[in-house]
């Protein structure tokens, strides 16, 4: 599992391109969501919708500094694509480690 380190209280920004077998995933008629939990079976802590930049798989995720002001430790997140016809794909399942900040 991929682990991403992020400083507590910093804005999180990432451009993501979704592909399947080297081909871009068509994002027409869908919603792309980022969800965070302390552990997979625990309640949802944070959920954000990604901005679709291009129907050929390109999105942008921005999470505010306030939303990223989580307690120090490990969290689980995924990114899920849901199409209007009910099809669901979860191409990203990672862990995020919130690390300490010095300047507040």
Judge whether residue 104 has pLDDT over 80: no
Whether 21 maps to a domain, the answer reads: yes
Whether 72 maps to a domain, the answer reads: yes
Widest pairwise Cα distance in the chain: 47
103: pLDDT confidence band, cut at 50, 70 and 90? Answer: confident
Measured between alpha carbons, how far is 43 from 64 in angstroms, rounded to an integer?
20
Range of the domain at 54: 3-99
pLDDT value of residue 1: 79
Whether 17 maps to a domain, the answer reads: yes
Q: Please give the model's pTM, rounded to 2 decimal places.
A: 0.89
Structure confidence by residue, pLDDT tens digits, 16-69 = 999 888 888 999 999 999 999 999 999 999 999 999 999 889 999 999 999 999
Whether 69 maps to a domain, the answer reads: yes
What is the number of domains present in the chain?
1
Name the token pair of 71: 């307690």
Name the token pair of 23: 């081909």
Whether 104 maps to a domain, the answer reads: no
pLDDT value of residue 79: 96
């Amino acid at each position: 599992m991929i682990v991403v380190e992020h400083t507590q209280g910093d804005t999180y920004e990432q451009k993501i391109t979704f592909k399947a077998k080297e081909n871009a995933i068509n994002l027409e008629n869908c919603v792309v969501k980022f969800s965070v939990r302390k552990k997979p079976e625990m309640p949802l802590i944070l959920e954000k919708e990604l901005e679709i930049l291009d129907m050929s798989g390109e999105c942008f995720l921005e999470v505010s500094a306030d939303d990223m002001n989580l307690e120090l430790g490990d969290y689980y997140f995924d990114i899920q694509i849901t199409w209007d016809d009910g099809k669901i794909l979860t191409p990203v399942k990672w862990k995020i480690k919130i690390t300490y900040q010095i300047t507040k």
